[in-house]
Amino acid sequence: MEVKEKIIGAIKIAVKSAMEGGVLKNSDDLPEIVLEVPPRKEFGDFSTNFAMQSAKIFRTSPRKIAEEIKTRIESAAWLDKIEIAGAGFMNFYLSRDVIYQELANIYGAGENFGQLPAKNNQPIQIEYVSANPTGLLHVGHGRGAAAGSAIVNILRAAGYDVESEFYINDAGNQMENLAKSVNARYLELLGKNVDFPENGYHGADIIDTAKKIIERDGDKYLGLPEEERLKILEDLAYADKLAELKKDLSEFQVEFDSWFSERTLHPDKVNAAIKILRDKGAIYEKDGALWLNSTKHGDEKDRVVVRENGVPTYLAADIAYHKNKFERGFGTLINLWGADHHGYIARVKAAMTELGFNADNLKILLLQMVSLYRGGELVKMSKRTGESITLRELMEEVGTDAARYFFLMRSIDSQLDFDLDLAKKQSSENPVYYIQYAHARICSIFRQAAEVGLSLGNNPPQFELMTTDAELDLVSKILEYPDEIEKAAAEFAPQRIARYAYDLAAQFHSFYRDCRILGVGRELAHARLALVRVTGHTIKHSLGLLGVSAPQSM
RNA sequence: GCGUUCGUGGCUCAGUUGGAUAGAGCAACGGCCUUCUAAGCCGUGGGUCGAGCGUUCGAGUCGCUCCGAACGCACCA
């Protein structure tokens, strides 16, 4: 926000002038000036602890420093007053005109409010979900999908250049397993007696896949030799599973810019990466296998990259994959992994360091586990399939909006207790309905206004007519939005936006109680209607970052 | 045993590079609909921030120790 820059600029000039005047000791190592919105509104619109932070450098008491800064800027027109409080906080009270001007700017920006200027950063890539194409997505993937897509949206709103990617684990044992499982179901459905593979996938979705194949192609693969049939069924099952993944994700408001197949890394890119590491001495041979010297970079033990039988491990492919990602020119790579993969971080980073990349540019976000509760009881995983409720079932039960909001309302590194009953409730107890209701109410106001011939038209609203707390509190909540996006982006923290949307809705509901829009004077009604419009845009935008819809009516 | 994350009112959780009297929702209790959706609003009660020590002008936030929970510790992915 411009005002913030204005205040920070003024403080800088004041400090400089105080130093030049010999009032403050000269220094070029001053702390950054951070403005925050104070915890209570009696403390003004913005405050800074700069005087406290810099007390040591200036060797002066914080209050004295604050006084010196204050006297040098307090006459500025955009400022109402500055107060020094507590141990040396400086509280800035903006002139109302500035607030009205900010509001007018936001009003002018229309639906673009919330899109921050481009940062012109080196592109960031974020990889998430990356589930095996061997079954349906479950709720754990759902949390990852919600978090990843929200983080992408937030980073883009903050002005970063971001690309999202899904890494398809379509090579290795699990694909053979998929083929064997579908094969068994295929034969079973065609009346053959077969033993189900030992580590096969027991889910009902495997039967569905086999059924689809029979529906389309009949029993034409029955007579083929086992080997050949497995190969064909693997391809068919893979295509089906991948299509299912894409369908579920799309329904869950998740779209990827690119889908990267692990198969494209085998064998050339994997071998090339191994060769480089070998040449650099980071990989050695022991017991017939090839090992990565990851202990050197803090891992607990060295890791096998190529097995005794000559087959590369998952790690080998992952090294080749991350090498490829770095080589594509991304400045930052973000991986969103389930917390159960945390042991993997050290080895991948070790390999990247050995390959000459800066491992700090690979940020791995860990997502904690989800527990579902229904009727106050933990919903247990199925014993036979070892799987929890699928994402598809969850969407059917509670709806996409509620599912996404509930996944996003907690910080990603906090375990999530998902209350299915609460998510289903269509009442104010349910935060997502509470927020959506605020938006629906706003749309309703516009419908009502139109009926009495009131609309925004082209005349600029006279915002200065709004002087009550209910109005000004709502305005200041809206003014916080860009900052909130900035912070949510910097911290990869969608829950900040979830909370912000809730707080904004609450502020609006209070305003709605205190301030009528229809039936007040024409100019005041116009100004309030404009504020309502801005509020509606902001709620819609913040819900949009979360991938939650903003209904016109409820 | 080692590692990662977490431990904040009865429950689920926020808490902005360490800052001003620790905040919400749910649950409990009491009010508010002849006027723009009561799917709402207003109010009350409830917390030694797991325990201890340390760093600091100042610690829920940083460090160490301990206790507790989840997850992980494969030549599986």
- What distance separates the 2 farthest-apart alpha carbons in chain A? 95
Region of A460 on the Ramachandran plot (φ > 0 left; ψ -120 to 50 alpha; else beta) = beta
At residue A59, the pLDDT reads 86
pLDDT in tens, chain A (554 residues): 578 888 999 999 999 999 999 888 888 888 889 888 888 888 889 999 999 989 888 888 899 999 999 999 988 889 999 999 888 899 999 999 999 999 999 999 999 999 999 998 999 999 999 999 999 999 999 999 999 999 999 999 999 999 999 999 999 888 999 999 999 999 999 999 888 988 889 888 999 999 999 999 999 999 999 999 999 999 999 999 999 999 999 999 999 999 999 999 999 999 999 999 999 999 999 999 999 999 998 888 999 999 999 999 999 999 999 999 999 999 999 999 999 999 899 999 999 999 999 998 999 999 998 988 887 788 876 655 556 789 999 999 999 999 999 999 999 988 898 988 888 887 777 899 999 999 999 999 999 999 988 889 888 999 999 999 999 999 999 999 999 999 999 999 999 999 999 999 999 999 999 999 998 999 999 999 999 999 999 999 999 999 999 999 98
Closest by Cα among A294, A299, A527, A546 to A409? A546
At residue A424, the pLDDT reads 86
A126's tokens: 């974020």
Tally Cβ neighbours within 10 Å of residue A284: 13
C1' (B65) to CA (A295) span, angstroms: 27
What positions of strand B are covered by protein, i.e. any atom < 7 Å from a CB?
2-7, 12-17, 19-21, 23-27, 35-42, 57, 70-77
How many residues would you count in chain A? 554
Residues 377-406 of A with CB under 7 A from strand B: none
Residue spans per domain, chain A: 2-94, 130-168+257-367, 427-546
A407: Cα separation from own chain's centroid: 11
Question: What is the architecture, at CATH level 2, of domain A130-168+257-367?
Answer: 3-Layer(aba) Sandwich (3.40)
Q: How far apart are CA A483 and CA A447, in angstroms?
A: 31
A234's tokens: 């693997």
Assigned fold of A427-546: Isoleucyl-tRNA Synthetase; Domain 1 (1.10.730)
C1' (B77) to CA (A138) span, angstroms: 16
At residue A152, the pLDDT reads 96
Cis geometry, peptide bond prior to residue A267 (ω within 30 degrees of 0): yes
Residue A421 CB in 7 A reach of strand B: no
List own/partner pairs for A271-277 with CB under 8 A and 24 or more apart.
A272/A320, A273/A316, A273/A319, A273/A320, A273/A323, A273/A355, A274/A305, A274/A306, A274/A312, A274/A316, A274/A319, A276/A355, A277/A305, A277/A319, A277/A351, A277/A354, A277/A355
Question: What is the architecture, at CATH level 2, of domain A2-94?
Answer: 2-Layer Sandwich (3.30)
Integer Rg of chain A from CA:
29
At residue A385, the pLDDT reads 58
Say which nucleotide is closest to residue A445, CA to C1' distance: B36
At residue A383, the pLDDT reads 56
